[in-house]
Amino acid sequence: MNVQTLAQSISENISKVIYGKESRIKLILTAFFAGGHILLDDIPGTGKTSLARALARSIGGDSKRIQFTPDLLPSDITGINFFNMKTSDFIFRRGPVFTNILIADEINRTTPRTQSALLEAMEERQVSIDGVTYKLGEPFFVIATQNPIESQGTFPLPEAQVDRFLMKLSLGYPDRASERAILSGHAVESPLSTLGAVCQTGDVVAAMRAVRDVHVSERIGDYIVSIAGATRESDRIRLGVSPRGTLALMHAAQSYAAIEGRDFVLPDDVKAVAAPVLGHRIISRSQSEARISGANENLIDYIVDSIPVPVE
């Protein structure tokens, strides 16, 4: 099963639960196969948790959910060593981070220390407890959420930590037809309860390896570097894209190309993923513009349109 076929099967399966969001599902699968993580900046009730569970069921994997609160501790995420009175020995109890699909709900409602514990696991794909390192399983994909409307009692993620998410997306409200389909689909029972797997986690891991083999020509590489450089030189941007962001754009473009059925990257692949990959990695100079939802993504689109497209 190639990456395109696999992605199509997973997308169609998720669409049985999440209606009318095919383009967003495609971007989420792009991040998934690229080995990155997703930050969903969205209001409650738009299907974020259902989407994560549908993805886990589609790949035959496990999913766990953490509700972030101010009193949540790092050990509540990673796990803890506890003393077993019967064996007179310490036993490691694994935390919810040991899963395939992790839903980090309202990540901005917990303290920076606890946020850092999750972000370290995301980056290193391992956790260290009392000097012992435990590897996380494959695949490992975090879908973190935060509510853009409510800010009371929150701990906003610093720019350096937001930068660790491959993409920042918003599902948004469904259109009228999709919302009507939601009512019909959930009239008797949730379609999630009967959703089956279309592949296994091993197929996903193989697809992730295949994505890294997608060819990026020198001209495409120069194109990606030019886009990142333009964000650092723009008069409208105070903080441009970091080298980590440049790498993220390349990896996302490789994944998008593979999902499109190609083993090489085109400029259109870079354009398709530029805004969700780079939008949360820049800081606008205009405070009023920074408060507008989607303003950074629009600015990235403007910059991408201003860069000459390479022609073979």
Structure confidence at residue 260 (pLDDT): 95
Residue 271 confidence class, pLDDT cut points 50, 70, 90: very high
- Is the pLDDT assigned to residue 29 strictly greater than 80? yes
Structure confidence at residue 215 (pLDDT): 95
Structure confidence at residue 244 (pLDDT): 92
Stretch among 233-237, 274-278, 305-309 having the lowest mean pLDDT: 233-237
Superfamily of domain covering 3-198 = P-loop containing nucleotide triphosphate hydrolases (3.40.50.300)
- List, in sequence order, every beta strand (DSSP E) within the chain: 38-41, 63-67, 79-84, 89-94, 101-105, 126-129, 132-135, 141-146, 167-169, 237-239, 283-284
Residue 161 confidence class, pLDDT cut points 50, 70, 90: confident
Residue 228 confidence class, pLDDT cut points 50, 70, 90: very high
Q: Which pLDDT tens digit goes with each residue over 163-198? A: 889 999 888 787 888 888 888 877 777 778 888 899
Axis-axis angle for helices 243-259, 201-212 (nearest 10):
120
Structure confidence at residue 157 (pLDDT): 77
**132-135 vs 126-129, strand pairing mode:** antiparallel
Structure confidence at residue 58 (pLDDT): 92
Q: What is this structure's pTM?
A: 0.90
The secondary structure of the chain as a DSSP string is: --HHHHHHHHHHHHTTTS-S-HHHHHHHHHHHHTT--EEEE--TTSSHHHHHHHHHHHTT--EEEEE--TT--THHHHEEEEEETTTTEEEEEE-TTSSSEEEEETGGGS-HHHHHHHHHHHHHSEEEETTEEEEPPSS-EEEEEE-SS--TT--PPPHHHHTTSSEEE---PPPHHHHHHHHHHTSSS-GGGG---SS-HHHHHHHHHHHHTSB--HHHHHHHHHHHHHHHH-TTEEE---HHHHHHHHHHHHHHHHHTT-SB--HHHHHHHHHHHHGGG-EES-HHHHTSTTHHHHHHHHHHHHSPPP--
Domain with CATH 3.40.50.300 in the chain: 3-198
User: What CATH number belongs to 213-306?
Assistant: 1.10.8.80
- Is the pLDDT assigned to residue 226 strictly greater than 80? yes
Q: Which pLDDT tens digit goes with each residue over 235-247? A: 888 888 999 999 9
The per-residue pLDDT of the chain, averaged, comes to 87
Distance CA 52, CA 142 (A): 9
Q: Which pLDDT tens digit goes with each residue over 42-85? A: 777 777 888 888 998 999 888 899 998 888 888 899 888 887 77
